[in-house]
Amino acid sequence: MRGIRKEFPGVVANDDVSLDVRRGEVHALLGENGAGKSTLMNILYGLYRPDAGEILLNGKRVVFSSASDAIEAGIGMVHQHFMLIPVMTVAENVVLGTEPVKDGVLLDEGAAERRVADMAKTFKFAVEPGALVEDIGVGQQQRVEIMKALYRNADILILDEPTAVLTPQEASDLFEVLRTLRREGISIVFISHKLKEVLEIADRITVLRRGKTIETVPREGATEESLARAMVGREVLLRVEKKPAEVGDVLLEVEDLWASDDRGIQKVRGVSFQVRAGEIVGIAGVDGNGQTELIEALTGLRRADSGVIRVGGHELQHPTTRDSLDAGLGHIPEDRQRHGLVLEFSIAENVALHDYATTPDSKLGWLFPKRLVERAKGLIKEFDVRGGGPLTPAGALSGGNQQKLVAAREISRDPTALIAAQPTRGLDVGAIEYLHRRLVAERDEGRAILLVSLELDEIFSLSDRILVIYEGEIVGEHTGEVSEEQIGFEMLGVQKKVPA
Amino acid sequence: MTEPKKDLVQSPEEAASSGTLAARLSLSQRAGGVAVPLATVILAFLIGGLVVLATGHNPLLAYRDIFNGAGLNWIFHPTTNTAIDGGVPAQAAFNLTQTLLQTSTLILTGLAVAFAFRCGMFNIGGQGQYFIGLVVANWIGISLAGLNSFPHILLAIAAATLAGAVWAGIAGVLKATTGAHEVISTIMLNWIAYYLASWLFGVGGPLHNTDPTQATSPVSNPILESAKLPVIWGSTTLQGLSAGFLIAIAALVVYWALINRTTLGYEVRAVGFNPDAAAYGGINVKKNIIRAMAISGAFAGLAGGIDMLGYLFKYGQLDVQVSQVGFIGIAVALLGRNTALGVFLGAFIFGGLLYGTTQGLTSNVIQPELSQQLTYIIQGLVVLFIGADILILYVWNSRKRLRPRGAARTPAKAVY
Amino acid sequence: MTTWSQRLDNPVSEQLRNPATTGYVAIGLGAFAAFLAIPPIEARSPAWPIAVGILAVALGIWTATRGRQRLGWGAAVGGLLGIGLGILATRSGTGNLETVFDATLIDQTFGLATPLIFGAIAGMFSERSGVINIGLEGMMLMGAFWGVYGSDKGGTWVLGLLIGMASGGVLALIYAYFAIHLRADQIVGGTAVNFLALGITGYFFQQFYNGQVSGNPSTIPNLHISGLGHFLENSIGNLSLLTWASFLLVIVAYVVLFKTPIGLRIRACGEHPRAADTVGINVYLVRYCCVALSGLLVAAGGVYLSLGPQGNGTFIFNMTSGKGFIALAAMIFGNWRPAGAFAAAVLFGFSSALALKLQIYSPQASTLFQVLPYVLTLVAVAGVIGRTVAPAADGKPYAKQ
């Protein structure tokens, strides 16, 4: 791939990126969230069209207008979200679309199963062709996805963050598989942000940062530090002016919290921390290391497995969302359109989402829209929410104003502790600036704020204390000066200390 | 993190095209206002007219006759006299009373469907809930002799409403506890109610009439005088407009108040638009599903009540077989965009069609039987177009780039 | 859930102890308890149904306490019902019993089941590809009317069948356009289709025939099988050609859906259209074809209603009166599988046939008895007898990215 450029509204995802992959090698594509890795591979797989640049296959220029073209050219991709049909067997899933036929009309199940069994043997997969996909484990499902590509004679296999859904054991099984594939002459592009794995399996590594190729290095000679530096090194951006923190009592406390995700994998593993009045504690980490489940457990969206949660000194036992709200926890959710707002409701109605059943918004079941509107008017002014009045549907606001609305609602309820999850996701610079200043203002007033964000800049800018979460555990805690590099390393699981 | 998280930057249209029916309908409510339902009706009438034309009749004359038959020509010479000998104005007045009778029923069955839609559910069971209301109203109407009029009527109406609520509540409970889709359960409940009513009113059934001259006729006893709703316009001997009309209007107000002025309405709408956010806001989703279905059924049960007490007075197996008011309520609700005013207008249009096609059509223009079928064709077209116009709107809107600023503006650096 | 291969490997004794198995056995026993008292066994002592029924109840309770609560309690209730029905039957006069439960009951069962079979299989194809088809009732009605029209004007029942089927197909295509291309809500669209069919058939029935079909349009012949002995001849020796066609249809549907590549693709579109799309399957085309097919098939069932032994060449307004919905119920009850849909359709046909025969006892009871298919489906949907699992993407319009 040469000189690939791809732009989406407002952002350049790939900027003059070049990548070359040799036959029979495992080539890792390394980079942070948003570096442009997936975009590049989606272009290779024909799902996106590049704005500039070209793709050469065996020296010949190719243009893909759809995934089918790419498949035919010998490129296969295993997405993070599998495209498998749970109620069908492995063999059926693999042959779907190019089924073997007998007697002219009938599906030759036997042939399908035999081919799948052969493939499994060649590549040393341990998958039964006749098993139903919903009955097999995630690691095996992934192998079925790989088989789909191989069945269509893929020479190049793209794997998008394949270990994100695997346990460590499954991951090392996968690597065995990859080594076998490599021996058979198949090239593999391995997208990841996990340094250790990349060093374990890759032959060559290309690092992307902010849409640009930084370097391509062979594995020999690369170390975790050198790779991390290439991934993380960046200029320092705007910091918010803030006074030093004046801390008070502990308002939010978590002790030895354990929580699992929907699949039963433990994502939060023994997390403990405290947030005091007048400070902002930021939790930094790469997406998928347990932050989401942590917040869900605190706010009642998910039931924790074990551990203690205390808000303002009161212990919360397996709270529902109502319980945590009543206990004084405010929550600016990371998914404002799914959890934070009812888009079809007006601003005034959204403002009332937690309190509609209490006076003065209502009495004995009778709603007083005027009060809702009054309150909304006040908040709109205070938080500078633009795009409409109290009666405008929330969906008509821009993302930034929607987020301001959510923040307005949460803050105006005067919570004991406020949790802000990805508060500036998808927002423009102006909105980000406003929210950051607001959060700091609240902190100055003595509120306890827990900030969870994937954006290191935001964490650095706002936090008085920084915690780093990696694989469900808090692996670092820093007050005062600490370098971005150090935090970056901890986020990637690197243990080595770097002088501040 | 792989692709840009598309779900975070959804505009309401995107949410609408993939989200709950309530969300989709609310989108169309905001966009296009009255123009779209109006256009839909006109289009449906147009196509209906084409069918009429294609089979050798004059559609304009046919529609004019339907107009007169519905009593809408009353506005040209209004009068309160509905006597047979009162000439054309009285005839028009009488027709109007009949149209309004139909309208009352359709208002209520329409409200039933509309209320459920507002909570993100499709109550297709209005017909069955209507039957249950009829049955209960008849049962109370023929019993309790000696009771004064007011309490008798009140009891019958209350019981019919409650019965409708319970019948729909079954579907609500099934959905909340087992996740059973309310469309399937309400369809099944429709037919169960259908056969239940057939059995009750049939020969030998518990509600079969006790008149020896009617012994072989599968009809119920007529309700007692004390249970009959007073007539507000027209004569009592010749079916006049009953107070049921006022009850229906009151129901419209109640509907509006429930939806817009109560915490119950707030919860119901929140659950219908976005159950996740509602749960996050502390709302009990399951309880509200049941509540919404029950209230929805209450409206339909009430429809049965006012019909039985207002002008039917008795009911039979044959009536059960031809009744369609529950289903027409679906068209009314959709046309009326689930708003109180919309339901009223939609009910009036279809009420006019229903009655106007049975009445006063001279057979050299078009036979009454033919025009009755026309009602169904027009209904079907209206429902079809409304089901689709949501998307037509969506396409229209996005072409005119009316996309609101809900689209994300990503900052200079990649945020995702 | 275990795979089929795993189930086959289990020793029989282990399977017997599996609560699911005992649950189903209990249900079977409950039915058997009632069956004991009717011809041909016609046990006269209530002791028999009671004994068997108690066994059923016991097994049901055992199942419920071993984890399969809904199945177990459902079976227990079934056992009690079996006892009740059995006792009722023993109280009835044998003369009556024999009039009701004779060979013609089977004949009528299949006859009444035929439109249901067509409808259920039709619905199954549509839904398996991911499109809900509530409009089965309307499409069946179209077939009923236009079948008579075609036979009348064309002179032969074959033409009637073809035209009837075509009319269902056309309506289905209109519905498909709204549901697939315009991505309209499918339930609303299906309801609209039913209204339209009601209006169109009623209108043209009035227009062409003035409410009464005159003349004698050619009707569908029956298939006579003789030399089978008294019982068989009365039960299956005189079934309509279309009835036999419907049996064939079930087998063909099974083969197509589960044994051919096209069936695999259809099912993929209904379970995970995105996955199907990524392997190059044209989801829109598949869905269109399946919906059109469902229109054709269910309309054939409608033609049977008017041109078959029950209709005999007449048409009445709203002739289907809910049979399309019973077919829908049969499809759901049969868990979207051909064999299940067939069994459910026959079961519902049986209950309708029984309802007709029960008129001897009381016409009222027979009306009430007609509720059975709907109650059963309600029970099925509530998950009492295992879960009904619709195709995963059923009803969700697909938007190609």
pLDDT digits (tens, 9 = 90+) for B168-218: 999 999 988 887 888 888 998 999 999 999 888 887 778 887 877 877 788
**pLDDT bucket at B66, cuts 50 / 70 / 90:** confident
> Residue B401, by phi and psi: left (phi above 0), alpha (psi -120 to 50) or beta?
left
Please state, for a pLDDT cut of 90, what percent of chain B lies above it: 26
Within 231-260 of B, beta carbons closer than 8 Å to A belong to 260
pLDDT score of C337 more than 70: yes
Which two structure tokens, joined as six digits, stand for B218? 């599968």
Hey, are the CB atoms on B174 and C363 less than 8 Å from each other? no
H or E stretch covering C186 = helix C186-209
Looking at residue B8, its pLDDT comes to 30
Looking at residue B71, its pLDDT comes to 81
Q: CA-CA distance, A487 to A482, in Å (whole number)?
A: 8
What's the DSSP call for residue C360?
G
pLDDT in tens, B296-307: 999 999 999 999
Enumerate the residues of chain B whose CB falls inside 8 A of the CB of residue C385.
none
3-state secondary structure of C315: coil
What's the DSSP call for residue B358?
T
Angle made by CA atoms A305, A308, A312, in degrees to the nearest 5? 140
Hey, are the CB atoms on B188 and C374 less than 8 Å from each other? yes
Angle made by CA atoms A344, A346, A350, in degrees to the nearest 5? 90
Average pLDDT, chain C: 82
Enumerate the residues of chain C whose CB falls inside 8 A of the CB of residue B203.
363-364
How far away is chain B from the Cα of A54, in angstroms, using its nearest Cα?
21
Angle, in degrees to the nearest 10, between helices C323-333 and C372-381: 40
Residues 6+ apart with CB under 8 A from C274: A83, C398
Can you list the domains of chain B with their CATH numbers? 35-400 (1.10.3470)
Looking at residue B63, its pLDDT comes to 82
How far away is chain C from the Cα of B97, in angstroms, using its nearest Cα?
25
H or E stretch covering A118 = helix A109-122
**C124 and C331 Cβ atoms separated by less than 8 Å:** yes
Hey, are the CB atoms on A84 and C272 less than 8 Å from each other? yes
Enumerate the residues of chain C whose CB falls inside 8 A of the CB of residue A132.
1, 3
pLDDT in tens, C63-85: 777 666 767 777 777 777 777 77
pLDDT in tens, B67-101: 877 888 887 777 777 777 777 777 788 888 888 99
Size of interface A-C (CB pairs under 8 A): 66
Hey, are the CB atoms on B412 and A429 less than 8 Å from each other? yes
Least CB–CB distance from A106: residue in C260, C274, C279: C260
Say whether residue C337 is in contact with chain A using an 8 A CB cutoff.
no
Least CB–CB distance from A342: residue in B30, B264, B277: B277
Task: Tell which residue, A183, A111, A101, A98, has the closest CA to residue A149.
Answer: A98
Looking at residue B89, its pLDDT comes to 78
Interface of chain A toward chain C, CB-CB under 8 angstroms: 67-68, 71, 83-88, 92-93, 96-99, 101, 105-107, 109, 128, 130-132, 134-135, 148
Task: Tell which residue, A467, A459, A400, has the closest CA to residue A435.
Answer: A400
Enumerate the residues of chain A whose CB falls inside 8 A of the CB of residue B273.
342-345
Looking at residue B10, its pLDDT comes to 35
Amino acid B20 reads T
Task: Tell which residue, C210, C126, C150, A39, has the closest CA to residue B2.
Answer: A39
Hey, are the CB atoms on B194 and C187 less than 8 Å from each other? no
Looking at residue B405, its pLDDT comes to 32
Looking at residue C2, its pLDDT comes to 42
Say whether residue B6 is in contact with chain A using an 8 A CB cutoff.
no
DSSP secondary structure letters along B13-59: HHHHHHS-HHHHHHHHHHSSTTHHHHHHHHHHHHHHHHHHHHTT--H
pLDDT score of B398 more than 60: no
* Residue of chain B with shortest Cα separation from C177: B388
Enumerate the residues of chain B whose CB falls inside 8 A of the CB of residue C392.
none
β-strand pairing of A465-470 with A101-102? unpaired
Least CB–CB distance from A342: residue in B1, B30, B270: B270
Contacting chains of B (3 CB pairs or more, <8 Å) are A, C
Contacting chains of A (3 CB pairs or more, <8 Å) are B, C
Task: Tell which residue, C307, C306, C336, C300, has the closest CA to residue C320.
Answer: C306
- In this structure, how many other beta carbons lie within 10 angstroms of the beta carbon of residue B135? 25
In Å, how far from its chain's centre is CA B389?
20
pLDDT in tens, C26-57: 778 877 877 777 777 777 777 777 777 777 77
How far away is chain C from the Cα of B144, in angstroms, using its nearest Cα?
25
Q: CA-CA distance, C273 to C126, in Å (whole number)?
A: 14
Least CB–CB distance from A397: residue in B8, B406, B412: B406
pLDDT in tens, B303-344: 999 999 988 888 888 888 888 889 899 989 988 888 899 999
Mean pLDDT of all residues in C207-214: 81
Least CB–CB distance from A67: residue in C261, C276, C278: C278
Mutate one of A85, A90, A101, A133 to test the C interface: name it (highest C CB count within 10 A). Answer: A85
Q: CA-CA distance, B367 to B382, in Å (whole number)?
A: 23
3-state secondary structure of A128: coil
Which residue did the predictor score with more confidence, A359 or C185? C185
Enumerate the residues of chain C whose CB falls inside 8 A of the CB of residue B196.
368, 371
* Residue of chain C with shortest Cα separation from B198: C367
Mean pLDDT of all residues in C225-239: 74
* Residue of chain A with shortest Cα separation from B406: A398
pLDDT in tens, C345-355: 998 888 888 77
Looking at residue C12, its pLDDT comes to 58
3-state secondary structure of C212: coil
φ/ψ of A77, rounded to 5, equals: -135, 135
Looking at residue B389, its pLDDT comes to 65
Looking at residue A237, its pLDDT comes to 40
CA dist list (Å): C72 to A334, A348, B174, C64:
44, 50, 19, 4
Within 25-54 of B, beta carbons closer than 8 Å to A belong to 26-27, 30
Which two structure tokens, joined as six digits, stand for C365? 């009871």
Residues 6+ apart with CB under 8 A from B54: none
**A196 and A228 Cβ atoms separated by less than 8 Å:** no
Q: Report chain A (500 residues): mean pLDDT per 10 consecutive residues.
A: 74 79 86 74 80 83 80 84 86 85 80 86 82 84 87 87 74 85 88 81 85 79 75 52 76 89 85 90 85 88 88 84 85 84 87 81 81 88 82 81 88 89 77 84 88 83 89 86 76 63
> Residue A28, by phi and psi: left (phi above 0), alpha (psi -120 to 50) or beta?
beta
Least CB–CB distance from A85: residue in C5, C259, C271: C271
**B42 and B50 Cβ atoms separated by less than 8 Å:** no
Hey, are the CB atoms on B2 and A80 less than 8 Å from each other? yes
Please state, for a pLDDT cut of 70, what percent of chain C lies above it: 88
Size of interface A-B (CB pairs under 8 A): 172
How far away is chain A from the Cα of C270, in angstroms, using its nearest Cα?
10
Least CB–CB distance from A367: residue in B2, B261, B409: B261
Q: CA-CA distance, C189 to C174, in Å (whole number)?
A: 10
pLDDT in tens, B127-159: 999 999 999 999 998 888 888 888 899 999 999
Looking at residue B27, its pLDDT comes to 55
**pLDDT bucket at B7, cuts 50 / 70 / 90:** very low
Hey, are the CB atoms on C392 and A71 less than 8 Å from each other? no
Peptide bond into C49 cis (omega under 30): no
**pLDDT bucket at B397, cuts 50 / 70 / 90:** low
**B91 and B265 Cβ atoms separated by less than 8 Å:** no
pLDDT in tens, C287-314: 999 999 999 999 999 999 999 888 888 8
Least CB–CB distance from A321: residue in B282, B404, B412: B282
How far away is chain A from the Cα of C280, in angstroms, using its nearest Cα?
6
Longest dimension (CA), chain B: 88
Helices (H), C37-156: 47-65, 69-91, 94-100, 103-128, 136-154
Which residue did the predictor score with more confidence, A248 or B412? A248
Size of interface B-C (CB pairs under 8 A): 156
DSSP secondary structure letters along C235-303: HHTEEEHHHHHHHHHHHHHHHHHHHSHHHHHHHHHHH-HHHHHHTT--HHHHHHHHHHHHHHHHHHHHH
Enumerate the residues of chain C whose CB falls inside 8 A of the CB of residue A131.
3, 5
Mean pLDDT of all residues in C114-124: 95
Hey, are the CB atoms on B380 and C183 less than 8 Å from each other? no
Residues 6+ apart with CB under 8 A from B111: B251, B252, B255, B299, B329, B333, B340, B343
Say whether residue C351 is in contact with chain B using an 8 A CB cutoff.
no
Which residue did the predictor score with more confidence, C14 or A15? A15
H or E stretch covering A215 = strand A212-218
pLDDT score of C194 more than 80: yes
